[in-house]
Structure 1
């Protein structure tokens, strides 16, 4: 995964810088995610590892994407095809999305709780996290009954574990040391 990220990062950064310079970040998001979905299709993925030339692969992908790609998007596809990198397009789209999120001073936060959170709880949690992280927070909530009580909050590298199991594990570690 890290190797794919290393290869995809320059494409994502260059695309993002172009999008910022031309003030069309959203248009590039749509183009990249559509093209990434096309590349992720099993038939197209098999074609990418086949015997077609880079020009043929680029032409097929551009033809499938049709009016979903502007001239700059088609140029990106051609460059990635020439370098044999069309298969990493989904990773480029993911890294691009991360750059957009950072640019917009947003952070995606995953909240896994033992029980469903009420609207009020979500609002309070969001406000608290926005204050702590100094960014706009996008909550993605899910439920895991195995947690018994509490929640696990993940925002990038930050993990806050307030579950009953987490607290018992910390107590056990403290008693053993």
Structure 2
């Protein structure tokens, strides 16, 4: 997966930088690019499309097919990105490009997506406290995605990017077991 990220990052960064540059004259440019890349990523992630890319030897055919399928969802700049990626035989990494692009948008907007997994549903006060603590820790706004995992017994696990706080009973028991061995 990290190889895909490494390949996708320059395309995502270029698209993001261009979208930010465009936003000087069009305030919705970043949103438009998000929609374009999201749509193209969904198309590229389709099994039949992936098979087509794998069996197509013509770069031009792959680019034309992708642009044709995406149709009006892509503006001329989006089409240029697709053609460039096709030229470099990188259309299959479009989903990773989209993921990286979204990460750049979140960084630009100074927001972080934080996954909170709890043993029981959190109430609004608990969510607010976690959000406030994570905003302080990460020095940016956070968006919580809360879910329940009954196997935790008690507590929460908080994840964002490569940062994890395991405050679950299961995690504490696992750490204790490791120390006792």
TM bucket normalised to smaller: over 0.9
Counterpart of 2:52 in structure 1 is: 47
Q: Secondary structure at the match of 1:168?
A: helix
Cα distance, 1:19 vs. partner? 0.7
Gaps of 5+ in 2: 24-28
Counterpart of 1:20 in structure 2 is: 20
Structure 1 residue 74 corresponds to structure 2 residue 103: no
Structure 1 residue 30 corresponds to structure 2 residue 35: yes
Counterpart of 2:170 in structure 1 is: 165
Which one of the candidate residues 72, 94, 98 is aligned to 2:99?
94
Q: Which whole-Å deviations, capped at 9, do the CAs of 1:87-119 have from their partners, x for residues lacking one?
A: 111111111111111111111111110001112
Q: Secondary structure at the match of 1:149?
A: coil
Counterpart of 2:149 in structure 1 is: 144
Q: Secondary structure at the match of 1:49?
A: helix
Q: Matches of 1:8 and 1:126 in 2, distance apart?
A: 30
Q: Matches of 2:176 and 2:65 in 1, distance apart?
A: 59
Cα RMSD between the aligned structures? 1.4
Q: Matches of 1:51 and 1:27 in 2, distance apart?
A: 29
Gaps of 5+ in 1: none
Q: Figure out how many residues of one structure are paired with residues of the other and give that number.
A: 176
The within-5 A match list for 1:103-122 is 103-122=108-127
* More moved, 35-44 vs 165-174: 165-174
**TM-score w.r.t. length of structure 2:** 0.91
Cα distance, 1:173 vs. partner? 4.3
**TM-score w.r.t. length of structure 1:** 0.93
Q: Matches of 1:51 and 1:21 in 2, distance apart?
A: 34
Structure 1 residue 56 corresponds to structure 2 residue 78: no
Counterpart of 2:26 in structure 1 is: none
* More moved, 127-136 vs 82-91: 127-136
Counterpart of 1:7 in structure 2 is: 7
Cα distance, 1:170 vs. partner? 3.2
